[in-house]
């Protein structure tokens, strides 16, 4: 296995400083699938870097076939941007646009592509379609009108990811349990990550890297399917949410790395690519997996301003009407209506809390919790 380390410039500051990301490429001695893994696109979500550290060690100890690209610290603008002590890294501080909504997919060429490639083999379609996606990205990167700050970053990341059969984007929530965004077609394979909470995604594109990676291939397969031809979805892509932001624990990241390795060593069994290893060298601890559809992944917004005690534990079923959070109104201390001092917030249905807001002070309308509803075991 050959290990190459390069850097890729993705941004330039007003003072002329170039911001670059590290790109590590592992090339096996035998051919095999291509895998792309990035971490820390949102600036405060650091734990994925530690997972990449463990993955690199594991790949060194058990060299895979094929090619693996690892990109830690994927967003130097977001990681380096502070307001107060915390990292303000979810969105471009100039425009407000979420860093993970700036990837590209233009579906308008799909119909034409399908018409042109009706008669070709699965493999020829795969190669031609990847070439098409690559060309779309290269064309955008070359626009005479320029690109936004976020596109300069995201399209360069996507340009690497588009070459891969497997794309993993390592994020975290605010204060959060581990959860996984799963494209519905890959739900069986997704079990191997051993992540307790799972959200099943449809084929639509909303700008995120996982969607930008799977939507084109999935929509291609859907179009062929509507014409009676069964084409595999040639790419798997997942967003992993590995706990809480602003939290680094390298020892703890080993568990998550083993889940990723477990998925990697087994995915070829049901997917249209080969094995990364001849055997299955990694052991990941099984967990009970709960899941729901994306439309059942609900946010609960604070009905009033106040200061919050987050009561409902994460990753555990909360029954309808059980206390979710307590919202304190200390401005009402010593008022005659003692009942007004705090509200106990509850939900209209059973749900499993996935994450909650990171601050104790909330406005009316703050997203307090996100929760799985209508859950089932995966």
Cβ-based nearer residue to a copy of itself, 15 or 226: 15
63: nearest Cα among 32, 37, 38, 36 = 32
Provide the mask over 251-290, with x wherever binding to a copy of itself is found by CB under 8 A and - wherever it is not.
----------------------------------------
Query: CA-to-CA distance for 8 and 15, rounded, in angstroms?
Result: 19
Q: Which one of the spans 182-190, 202-210, 231-239, 247-255 is the region binding a copy of itself (CB under 8 A)?
A: 247-255
Asked whether position 98 contacts a copy of itself by CB under 8 A, the answer is: yes
374 touches a copy of itself by CB under 8 A = no
- Say if CB 340 and CB 263 are below 8 A apart: no
Q: Which of residues 7-36 bind a copy of itself (CB under 8 A)?
A: 11-17, 19-20, 22, 24
In the complex, the smallest distance separating the C-beta of residue 23 from a copy of itself, rounded to whole angstroms, is 9
Residues 179-238 contacting a copy of itself, CB under 8 A: none
Q: Look-up: residue for tokens 């999935």?
A: 218
Name which position in 140, 159, 187, 326 contacts a copy of itself (CB under 8 A). 326
Instruction: Point out which span in 179-187, 217-225, 261-269, 307-315 binds a copy of itself (CB under 8 A).
Output: 307-315
Q: How far is the CB of 253 from a copy of itself (least distance, A)?
A: 11
Q: Do 3 and 25 form a contact (C-beta atoms < 8 A)?
A: yes
Of 126, 157, 161, the residue nearest 41 (C-alpha): 157
Residue from 8, 53, 62, 272 touching a copy of itself (CB under 8 A): that is 53
Q: Say how many CA atoms lie within 13 Å of 166 toward its Cβ.
A: 29
- When binding is defined by CB under 8 A, the residue of 61, 334, 337, 377 that contacts a copy of itself is 334
As a whole number of angstroms, the distance between CA 227 and CA 114 comes to 10
**173 is a site residue for a copy of itself (CB under 8 A):** no
User: How buried is 141 (Cβ within 10 angstroms: 0-12 exposed, 13-18 middle, 19+ buried)?
Assistant: middle
Q: Are 290 and 196 in contact (CB under 8 A)?
A: yes
């Amino acid at each position: 296995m050959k290990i190459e380390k390069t850097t890729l410039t993705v941004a330039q500051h007003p003072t002329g400083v170039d911001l670059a990301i590290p790109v590590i490429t592992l090339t096996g001695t035998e051919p095999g699938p291509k895998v792309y893994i990035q971490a820390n696109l949102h600036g405060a979500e650091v734990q994925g870097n530690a997972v990449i550290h463990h993955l690199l060690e594991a790949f060194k100890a058990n060299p895979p076939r094929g090619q693996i690209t690892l990109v830690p610290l994927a967003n130097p603008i977001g990681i380096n941007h502070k307001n107060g002590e915390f990292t303000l890294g979810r969105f471009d501080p100039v425009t407000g646009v979420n860093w993970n909504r700036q990837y590209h997919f233009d579906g308008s060429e799909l119909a034409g592509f399908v018409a042109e490639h009706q008669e070709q083999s699965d493999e020829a379609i795969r190669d031609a379609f990847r070439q098409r996606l690559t060309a779309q990205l290269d064309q955008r990167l070359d626009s005479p009108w320029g690109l936004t700050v976020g596109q300069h970053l995201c399209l360069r990341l996507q340009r690497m990811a588009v070459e891969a059969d497997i794309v993993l984007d390592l994020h975290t929530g605010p204060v959060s349990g581990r959860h996984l965004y799963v494209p519905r077609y890959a739900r069986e394979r997704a079990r191997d990550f051993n992540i307790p909470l799972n959200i099943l995604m449809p084929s639509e594109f909303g700008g995120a890297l996982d969607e930008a990676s799977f939507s084109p291939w999935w929509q291609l397969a859907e179009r062929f399917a509507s014409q009676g031809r069964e084409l595999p979805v040639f790419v798997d892509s997942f967003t992993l949410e590995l706990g809480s932001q602003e939290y680094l624990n390298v020892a703890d990241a080993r568990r998550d790395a083993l889940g990723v390795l477990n998925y990697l060593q087994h995915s070829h069994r049901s997917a249209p690519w080969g094995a990364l290893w001849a055997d299955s060298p990694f052991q990941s601890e099984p967990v009970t997996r709960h899941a729901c559809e994306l439309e059942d992944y609900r946010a609960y917004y604070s009905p009033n301003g106040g200061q919050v005690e987050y009561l409902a534990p994460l990753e555990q079923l909360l029954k309808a009407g059980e206390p979710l959070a307590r919202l304190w109104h200390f401005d009402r201390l010593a008022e005659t209506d003692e009942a007004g001092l705090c509200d106990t917030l509850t939900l209209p249905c059973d749900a499993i809390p996935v994450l909650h807001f990171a601050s104790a002070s909330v406005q009316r309308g703050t997203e307090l919790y996100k929760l799985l509803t209508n859950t089932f075991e995966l």
